[in-house]
Amino acid sequence: MAPLLELSNNSEDCEYPRDGRRTVVRAKKEDIRSLQEQIEELKGRIQRQTSTEDDGAHFHKTSDQLDRRCKYTSGHRLAPVRPSEASVLQRDQNTSCGQPRCEQLHSCSLSPTEADQGRQNQPTRGDSQKRTCAARDSLDRHQIQVYGATSLLHSHVEVPSAEVQFTGNREDLSTRSVARDRLIAFSAIARQKETMIYSTPSVAVNIDFDGVPMDMAMHLLELHWNRLHLMYLLTYRPAIMDSLMNNGPYINKLLLNAIYLQSSLYSDRTSLCSDPGNPRTRALLIDYIDKPSLPTVVALLTCGACLVQYGEQSASWLFCGMAYRMIIDLGYHLEDPKCPQSGESLRLSAVDKEIRRRVYWGAYATDKAQSLYLGRPPGLHQSDSNVPLEFLDSYEELEEWKPYIDPQTQLHDPGGPIYRSRPSYALSTFQCLLQLSLITETIITAFYSTRSAQSSEHALLQSRQRVKAQLDHWRHSLPAHLLFDPNRDETPPPHQMTLHTTYWTLVILTEQPFLARGHFAFTLSHESQNEKRKTCIEASFKIRALIEAYKKAFTLRRAQYGISYAMYSAVLVLLQHADQDNDEYIEAIRFFWFALMEYQRGCGHGMKGPLRLLKSLMRRVEKVVQRIDIDHPGTTSWSAGSDISSGIDTVPWTGTGTFGQEETWSGSWLNAENDENFFLADDTIFGFFTQE
């Protein structure tokens, strides 16, 4: 062993260090465990921060960028969102369930040179397909299936509890603000990009309109965005149009053809086929029905909504029913679902969260409207979901709205009515409509379900008081920009008008079952009945004023079917008082009859059955027969010299009597057992199509 100290050639002492292994102080297990816990906590904070701060800022990478590692620095700025990128705000395409993700990919930005090159090079259809292939595959990989606690397949899926939803995973205000700003920027850029379809031939030529000429396809799409989309916000415009232009994941041929089918019902172009039996849409269903996806869900709901107006009630109910099942299968009724492969929370981008919320709530509102119209129990229930009623992309809220005018029609008829444009208030209107949809579910369950007939008088009256309080609260808390007085204010857009007609319809539906004989096992006092009659009559005249304003501003040709349900509900109320010496009732009945005729000649092809029933009921009221020419309206402002009742089968009059004042609201005149064309008393006005 070498000595510790020896003399060198230069007569200098040589020193050797001590063996550190003998003097080092070993760390305790408790210290190591504490440090490990701190490291894990810091890693968790970093992952949560990066996933929330940059959620919704994902970009598609071109093929030469996919292998590049993205690095993050605190001062790194996000590059401007390029409208040609279909995956703006999408999930990390390198992420798969249960696999670690590139923590900083959300925040990567392209260099100025790369950004300039992207703007200079116009992508072809082939390039676009390559660019979006990875994102579509990623979207498919993240499509999850949700199973409940009783399922044999439940082992890897845990339904988020309400506590986790509203406390553990609550996003802070700054995170929502960042996501909101990016979504609005995405929407604004996507809308600007749409103009390139008309101005840049190279863009239009690479869009697959599924065999429909571009002019016709864009005409149908414009009709959709202007009217149909605003009712339930099912179709998230920036994502769908961006996907259409770049072969993205948010539209497929089934959805595109569903929009064509629905919009053709609202178009004045004679070249469009208004045949719901068009084999194209239904043939496509075979290719998509066993592959649940977001665009397929929206397509089924869109088809279901328009088939009601085509008069195919059973097909409409079945299409929407399949959509509701797909929503549950994909977990859209749950916020932040679990990934079945790993049991870990599925991190969704801002655009995916926004779309899922809109699709779920749009389906929920559609379900309640159809349930009323068809008189059938709802398919979606509030108690089965935990989706927040909050939307971050508010771009459409203040977007200018005015009626869409077909360029071809304008060339032949330039002298149309002038409508002053105004903000659409799309989001606030839809949120108010959703509040009414929630009340609708309560009304159906409390007063029109099979259990309600066995409920006690006390329980039913308590339910009525709760519903009435909810409706009163809704009316008094309505935002100022959505208030409307037909006698004073200019008529708002159609989707806002539907909001008000729906409210007054729910008022009638709340009071009416207590007045129909046989609906419940008890009869209210005379004073209580009079109070409810006055409420229903008031609601009917409120609806009349709203419909009159609607007709003057837009005509009823393109009205949504909820408008027809409101009119039908109101006229049934007034018919039960038409025997009284009150000309105002007769005039209101005349108004609603001709208004429903106008609607049936437009979008309301499916109204023939209900109008046939209504005509039969009108013939049972002597004063109505004396003062209203039901079969030959003659030359009026409504008919313009034509027989507007054409197409409604004439039902021969089978009796001569009418109901007396003591039978008002008794329901006896509705319960004609020998006449198959009449409603049963206990059906009241819950549903049009009790019999065809």
Average pLDDT per consecutive 10 residues, the chain (692 residues; last block may be shorter)? 50 62 60 77 68 43 35 33 39 36 32 38 46 47 57 50 48 82 95 92 91 94 96 96 95 95 87 59 76 94 90 91 94 72 60 95 96 92 92 95 85 66 97 97 93 88 96 97 95 96 97 86 89 95 97 91 94 85 88 93 86 90 84 46 40 31 34 38 46 37
Residues 6+ apart with CB under 8 A from 105: 58, 70, 92, 94
Residue 379 Cα to chain centre, angstroms? 15
> Would you state the structure tokens that stand for residue 356, as one six-digit string?
């899922």
- In 3-state terms, what secondary structure has residue 425? coil
The residue with tokens 């419940």 is 520
CA angle 549, 552, 556 (to 5 degrees): 90
pLDDT of residue 121: 42
pLDDT of residue 73: 31
> Would you state the structure tokens that stand for residue 138, as one six-digit string?
């990623």
- In 3-state terms, what secondary structure has residue 7? strand
Number of other residues whose CB lies within 10 A of the CB of residue 515: 23
Name the percent of the chain lying above pLDDT 90: 45
The residue with tokens 């037909």 is 486
pLDDT of residue 184: 95
Q: Are 255 and 224 in contact (CB under 8 A)?
A: no
Measured distance CA(218)–CA(262) in Å, rounded: 14
pLDDT of residue 40: 79
Q: Are 342 and 97 in contact (CB under 8 A)?
A: yes
pLDDT of residue 13: 64
Measured distance CA(326)–CA(290) in Å, rounded: 10
Single-letter amino acid, residue 617: L
Q: Are 493 and 426 in contact (CB under 8 A)?
A: no
The residue with tokens 């000429």 is 213
Q: Is 651 left (phi over 0), alpha (psi -120 to 50) or beta?
A: beta
Element (H, E) at 565: helix 561-575
